[in-house]
Amino acid sequence: MKPRESAAFIASVSKDVKLNPVGIKRVASEIVQAIVSHEFEPNNMMIHSYPLPVTEDTSSIEWMFVADALNFSFWALEENAHYSVELRGKKYTGYMALCAAITKAQEAGIPITNPKYYANVTKETVNEIFMSNSGEPIPLLEQRWIILQECGKIINDKFEGEFCNCVRQSGNSAQKLLDLIVSNFPSFRDEGVIEGERVSFYKRAQILVADIWSAFKGKGLGSFSDIDTITMFADYRVPQTLVHFGAMEYSEKLNKLLSTNHTFTNGDREEMEIRGCGRIDQGRVKISICGF
C-alpha cells in the first residue's frame, strides 16, 4: 500500500491511538488564526531557512539528497544532549545541525554532496564531517556512513553520477519521483507490516520530493504537476503537538510506555500506529482548515 492508503488502513485497525474530531478542529482553528494574524506565513517554507544557500540549480538537489538520506534519529532524552553543530557563529541542533555540517564541509572544500566522493568516503571522514560541537560522533554514525556509500554507488551506477538525473527521469511527476527513490534506494524504503498487510510511510523520500519542489518554488526541475499527492509527514514533534491539542489520543498502555521514555523499535506496532494515525490526523486538519 502507498503512504496515503497505508495511513487510512492503520487508523482503521489501530488499538492504542485514536483520532478526536473536536481536537482536529481545535488545531485547524489555531493554524487559521496564526495565518490571519501573519504569525505564520505559509509561503515562508522551512527549506528557505535551512543553513544552505538555496538556489534553483542542480547543486541544491545534490545537497538535499544527502541531507534527506541522513535525515533520521536526532532525538535525545536530555535537553542539553541534542546533536549540535555551529556554522558562521550560529548553533544548530538536530536535523538543522546535520544541514549545517554539510554546508560547513562544502565551505571547507570537501565535496560531500558529490556521489563520486561519498560513494567511497571512509567512516573516519564521515565522523569528522558530522562531528558534534561537543566532540561526540553524530548519532548512528555507522548506519549513516553505510547509507552514504550505498547511495553514492547507486547514483554512480544508475544515474550517471548525479541524483538530479533521477529527478529528470520523473518527468515532472512527484509520484514518479517518489517511486524512483524508493525502488532504487533501499534506505528510503520506509515500510512495515501490520495485521498481515505491508504498509509504507516513505517519510524521507516524500520530504526529499517536497524539498525539491520548495527550493525550486514549483518551477523547473521542481515543477511537479501532482505535488498534492505527496502526503504530510510526521516528525518527532507532530504527534506530540496533535496529542497536546487533543486531536490524537493514546491508550493508557501507550501513555505509560511513553512516560517511561520507552524506546520503540522501527516497525513496532505502537510506532506505526502513531505515525499512521498522525498522518491521517494531519490530513483531516488540512481539510478542516479549508472549511474555515
- Which one is catalytic: 68, 179, 211, 235? 235
Q: For residue 171, report the phi and psi dihedrals to the nearest 5 degrees.
A: 60, 40
Q: Which residues of 231-241 are buried (b: 16+ CB within 10 A; e: fewer)?
A: bbbbbeebbeb
The rounded radius of gyration (Å) of the Cα atoms in the chain is 19
Start-to-end CA distance of the chain, whole Å, equals 32
Distance separating alpha carbons of residues 248 and 255, to the nearest angstrom = 12
Distance separating alpha carbons of residues 289 and 285, to the nearest angstrom = 6
The DSSP letter of residue 40 is S
E strands, the chain, in order: 17-19, 84-87, 90-93, 191-194, 197-200, 248-250
Cell of 48: 528557505
35 CB-near residues (< 8 Å, 6+ apart): 41, 42
Task: Give the other-Cβ count within 10 Å of 37's Cβ.
Answer: 8
The DSSP letter of residue 37 is T
How many residues in total does the chain contain?
292
93 CB-near residues (< 8 Å, 6+ apart): 74, 82, 83, 84
Strand pairing partners for 87?
90
Cell of 200: 509504507
Distance separating alpha carbons of residues 103 and 110, to the nearest angstrom = 9
Query: Is 235 an annotated catalytic residue?
Result: yes
Task: Just list the catalytic residues.
Answer: 235
